[in-house]
Amino acid sequence: MQNLKKVIAWRILSTAVSVVIVYLYLGEIQSAGELTIIMMIVMTILHYFFERWWEKDNKHLKKS
């Protein structure tokens, strides 16, 4: 559950940065918002599963 909280906090911060960057590139706030929302959803899901995989794959390192 802690990983999920960390992922959500990071996605909020990275989403704000993404909106600004995409807006500066495209010059359209609606398109920037739409693209950022799509990316936010996809990247949040991927990040969550990456964190779970990482913890599972590196359990042997924590036993030392």
pLDDT, residue 64, reads: 53
Q: What are phi and psi of 58, to 5 degrees?
A: -110, 15
Global pTM value: 0.63
Q: How high is the pLDDT of residue 63?
A: 63
CB 6 within 8 Å of CB 58 = no
**How deeply is 30 buried, as exposed, middle or buried, from its count of CB atoms within 10 A (0-12, 13-18, 19+)?**
exposed
Cβ–Cβ under 8 Å, residues 23 and 60: no
Contact between residue 44 and residue 14 where contact means Cβ atoms under 8 Å apart: no
> DSSP character for 27?
-
Q: What is the per-residue pLDDT across 1-42, written as a single tens digit (0 to 9) for each? A: 788 898 789 878 988 999 999 999 999 999 999 999 998 889
